[in-house]
Structure 1
């Protein structure tokens, strides 16, 4: 085997301290100086069964790289232990891209997994979102239920108001119909009563008559004035020419006939019911006391005797023979006569 020629001898240069300060690659005073070593086939005997490894030059850097790798591994292990002790998710550590470090850790080893913690956080976030969504849906459902309830209440109130208005309208219509029916019934009853009264008066009119004819009403009952001694007029005056016939207003008996002071010549006719009819200021009397007369019989003539201002018939009506007279006009109308 040919031998390598001896390497040229390098000029002497003292070894320089290494600038690296990490690990065991620091410069030591008991080492060196270093010289470059160029092995040859004669200087190194091959070892059977083992690979020959070339000795690196500048051993400080190799040792530093090795120490750095060991430190990184220790740091990773410490991080794993801390994660195991604290129960927190492991923290992923980025490896520096340094020569020789990557080869110390196998690429086949799985990196610490942070996925479970992230998955748990994502699940919790999803649960929180679902809870918020459920709460929102519950609130929406409650609001919709309240709105529907309010709508139902409004509809119920509107229906009740409409029903009440309809019932009130029916009641009002019934009352109006009843009022109209009552009014119509009352009117019919009044008309019927009026017809009956008219028939009665018509029949009475055949039995009663006015005391004279061709007259004018000059004084009414109750009229106030100084002409009358009582201060008011006590009868009904029929002004007519002297000598006008005076007739009996109804069938009765003559109870007085003669002079009566302020009344002049007076005739009193007493009817069957006790009512007295006074005929005053006559110019002449044609009947005598106790004589029976019928309706329309002549009993005297109009004159101006007594306390008078002119020729007229003064007619008084005394119910049941009382001293105080009643309104002759009303009494005549009650008998179907209109003075």
Structure 2
């Protein structure tokens, strides 16, 4: 029997997209062809992006004509989701990537994006909510919830293994988010500057790249913590996993959050998590129970809570062991992606009958 074919609309360089596609190939035996937008949606490039969006329909139809997909899937419920719904290919599965894909709220294109999203929600046969925070937004948007599958893609637990042998005598912290303004690395640096003044020993590994690299390096120098802060740059998944098993704290301070695979990876490897107090994080972290929730932009509280957790090593060790079991139950890639692949096959089989 020939493999079922999927047309994937989305940014194929993103780790989430790679995880999604690899899982479908591994557990659903799907053949996948991809298409993505190339123009930036920032600043003056928005006009070029809109023009590309207008021409996209015809390009996708040409791909569909030659590839003959059994199904189309799309990351995001706006641009790619709208295009997937417009193609005429059935069934359609779309995924909301954050609390809402209508971001930022003050965008001049907000109303336009909302129209695209409403159309995509209406036409989709299956809508992915990677977590509760997404499905809550969908309810408010009056989505037909019978079409919603609330399930994270999960992470590969054979790659991100648990370690409880970290050094407890100093803070070995790790950050694995892109060096972009919305991830607020400056808040993290300011918190560690406070810890240094208190003579609390630490190393801070910052993994990733982005537009804020030079600015953050300058900030670390100005705060006199450049010797303790190591900017690692972009790293392969296996290298990230190795550093996570060596670290004892994971920190993430974004201003918005959906479902963070980075958080799951850190919890799986035995890192104690301190993350922004946002709905997306509250779905997985209960304050001072299995991690610590920090108010947005509050570096002073972050420093206080880091010290609090550091001084309670026995409690912290119990938390990390509990977190590993939690991830095994809720975010196991091999279990969750198999369920998603099975859902796709069911949709395709319904269409053929």
Regarding TM over 0.5, the answer is no
- Compute the TM-score of the two structures, normalised by the length of structure 2: 0.17
Structure exhibiting the larger radius of gyration computed from Cα positions: 1
- Compute the TM-score of the two structures, normalised by the length of structure 1: 0.17
